Structure 1
Amino acid sequence: MTSPVSTPSQAPDATPPAASAPAAASINLRSQLGTYIGLALVLCGMVALFSSLSDYFLTVETFVTIANEIPALAVMAVGMTFVLIIAGIDLSVGSVLALSAAVTAAAIVQWKLAVPLAAALGLATGLLCGAITGAVAVAWRLPTFIVSLGMLEAVRGGAYLVTESRTQYVGDAIAGLAAPWVGGISAAFVLALAIVAVGQLLLTRTVFGRYVVGIGTNEEAMRLAGVDPRPIRVIVFAATGLLAGLAGLMQAARLEAADPNSGVGIELQVIAAVVIGGTSLMGGRGSVVNTFFGVLIIAVLEAGLAQVGASEPSKRIITGAVIVAAVIIDTLRQRRAGTA
């Protein structure tokens, strides 16, 4: 009986599948760490730059102020990260923020509901708006850009109707969310950090997160694998609406009022933070932690420009240039990965 002879495919230099997975994981981990370090260095460089330009920037008060101003932007950016990963976009988050805050304020001031019930109603409003956006886009296979643009206008109109085009003052009814905790840091900031952590774990450590990345990478392949992407898309948009509703509560708590004009243009800041954090506009790649770095970069940039006396037009030009630079870097990264 002859002994079996090795075929070319069984050559010693062929990498066993079991060995290739850890190697790929190690490469991915190094890439993530490199991105974290790169974003941290950019953030530190900006802090050093503005500290050299202003004697008042490198103070505890400045950083506490930044921390207490970013929770609304941070929680919306978490939702937008998932939306961009599935190759979608949601332009309605600013309007959803305004409507959710308006519903909460109206429930407290006009309808005399208990504060917990009013807050739940505001959150439910955001959840419903996001679910409608996702369901319409999925049911009729419409571009999410167009659907969310229509929702932006419709929901903003709803905010004006609920408030009768007037600012609704809620006083300290929900001020506890913006109340300072240790070192002057607000409860909203602590909650935002918790949501960032949960979002990152959901994206990287759950089956749902793998499905989200898979849909953004190759939706047809997910279908062939037996995964229906439609409910996942709706869930992502609904969750983004819910987080926008929470952002509305955070902003209303900080201002002690709900303004129907609040959140105008904030969707561009949200998208900018996510893109600066390295999430691909083409879908399939992103990180919630990196998005939080993007939020911090935008916040530090705005605070620094304000302290050095930059005019509003100058701040817009510089912020726009940073966004374009982030998109260019993302495009170059994609091309390099495609040719590797």
Structure 2
Amino acid sequence: MSSRTKVWFSENGALVALVVLAVALSLLSSDFLSVSNLLNVGVQAAVTAILAFGATFVIITAGIDLSVGSVAALSAITLAYLSTTSGLPWPLATVIALAVGVVCGLANAALIAYGKLPPFIATLAMLGIARGLALVISQGSPIAMPDAVSHVGDTIGGYLPIPVIVMVVMGLIAAVILNRTYPGRAMYAIGGNEEAARLSGIKVNRQKLVTYALSGGFAAVAGIVLASRLASAQPQAAAGYELDAIAAVVIGGASLSGGKGRAFGTFVGALILAVLRNGLNLLSVSAFWQQVVIGVVIALAVLVDTLRRRSSN
């Protein structure tokens, strides 16, 4: 095998794994490759993928964001409460909901960059704060979403799911940020060597504010998409989704030590998780065993990342 081929497989291992998984499931279940099922896989992957795109920014800087699931729920609750209970026009309520996600991200970054808290602790605290605020605002009960926003969970022409379109758009935005903007280049530099990035003139603390604000904003979009699918904002929605988001980023080839990651890889990672769950459901595998399988896949992804870093040193 040539060195160029080895590099390609190293950078696109997740894509190869997705193709192999899809072929295996298509052989095991005749329903897997049906158009309706594949679109269903896309819908299942949408929320996790959007959350994971935001988490990609953070993980590239060698950080972690455990709060995205709770921030998603808080943003959706904010939108539903302001538009349904308070009577605010839904476009304004949507802007405020997105701003709530950004503010939560900025709060995380402030604790990390200026408070010198480890990202794990800062975002774990925000996980509890955001979830608690969602419960306080909603008084623990679901709140109906405005009809205009609920249509985000519909399909175009009864065929193409809008959540899939939103997922693709957010993925393109993430790719542009990472590949075509100064903040994106700064993320890679900070994740590669924070002190070297600082000495090269990068305002590290400022860029961390941008990074975590983006993560919070993407989480808000994911929360709105999830609530639109359910036709209501639920305070306990997206619980545990932060782990799926991180898993999708790692499976997609990003390194938890920072400096490595791509939006496309994250997209493939989210699809792998969705395809696995969908395929196991088609094969009537117990939900308990599904958790075991997903856990093994995540462990293997982290192990591969560890081995790859050791071999490069």
TM-score relative to the length of structure 1: 0.88
Q: What's the CA shift for 1:172?
A: 2.6
Whole-Å Cα distance in 1 between the matches of residues 87 and 173 of structure 2? 34
Are residues 1:120 and 2:95 paired? yes
Q: What's the CA shift for 1:188?
A: 2.6
Cα 1:34–1:306 change in 2 (3 A) is same
Cα 1:177–1:62 change in 2 (3 A) is same
CA shift digits 1:35-66 (9 cap, x unpaired): 46432221121112222222322211111111
Match of 1:178? 153
Are residues 1:212 and 2:187 paired? yes
Q: What's the CA shift for 1:198?
A: 2.3
- 2:54 corresponds, among 70, 79, 84, to 79
Aligned pairs for 1:108-187 (under 5 A) are 108-170=83-145, 172-181=147-156, 184-187=159-162
Q: What's the CA shift for 1:103?
A: 0.6
Are residues 1:88 and 2:63 paired? yes
Check conservation: 2:249, 2:269, Cα contact below 8 A: yes
Q: What's the CA shift for 1:191?
A: 2.2
Write the letter of the residue equivalent to 2:219. A
Cα 1:263–1:30 change in 2 (3 A) is same
Check conservation: 1:97, 1:263, Cα contact below 8 A: yes
Check conservation: 1:66, 1:300, Cα contact below 8 A: yes
Match of 2:292? 317
Whole-Å Cα distance in 1 between the matches of residues 218 and 7 of structure 2? 25
Q: What's the CA shift for 1:29?
A: 8.8
Cα 1:276–1:124 change in 2 (3 A) is same
Match of 2:171? 196
Let me know the Cα RMSD of the aligned residues: 1.9
CA shift digits 1:75-101 (9 cap, x unpaired): 111111110010100000000011001
Bigger Rg, structure 1 or 2: 1
Which is further off, 227-236 or 183-192?
183-192
Are residues 1:236 and 2:207 paired? no
Corresponding residue SS for 1:76: helix
CA shift digits 1:98-140 (9 cap, x unpaired): 1001011111211011111111111111111111011111111
Corresponding residue SS for 2:261: coil
Matched-pair identity in %: 37
Cα 1:40–1:223 change in 2 (3 A) is closer
Match of 1:288? 263
Aligned pairs for 1:9-28 (under 5 A) are none
Which is further off, 171-180 or 290-299?
171-180
Cα 1:127–1:62 change in 2 (3 A) is same
Check conservation: 2:277, 2:290, Cα contact below 8 A: yes
Check conservation: 2:150, 2:231, Cα contact below 8 A: yes
Q: Structure 1 regions of 5+ residues with no counterpart?
A: 1-26
Q: Structure 2 regions of 5+ residues with no counterpart?
A: none
Match of 1:265? 240
Check conservation: 1:90, 1:145, Cα contact below 8 A: yes
Corresponding residue SS for 1:174: helix
Aligned pairs for 1:54-65 (under 5 A) are 54-65=29-40
Q: What's the CA shift for 1:300?
A: 0.2
Write the letter of the residue equivalent to 1:136. L
Check conservation: 1:68, 1:185, Cα contact below 8 A: no
Check conservation: 2:46, 2:164, Cα contact below 8 A: yes
Whole-Å Cα distance in 1 between the matches of residues 103 and 7 of structure 2? 34
Whole-Å Cα distance in 1 between the matches of residues 149 and 10 of structure 2? 38
Match of 1:6? none
Q: What's the CA shift for 1:34?
A: 3.1
Corresponding residue SS for 2:32: coil
Q: What's the CA shift for 1:155?
A: 0.7
Write the letter of the residue equivalent to 2:310. R
Check conservation: 1:196, 1:292, Cα contact below 8 A: yes
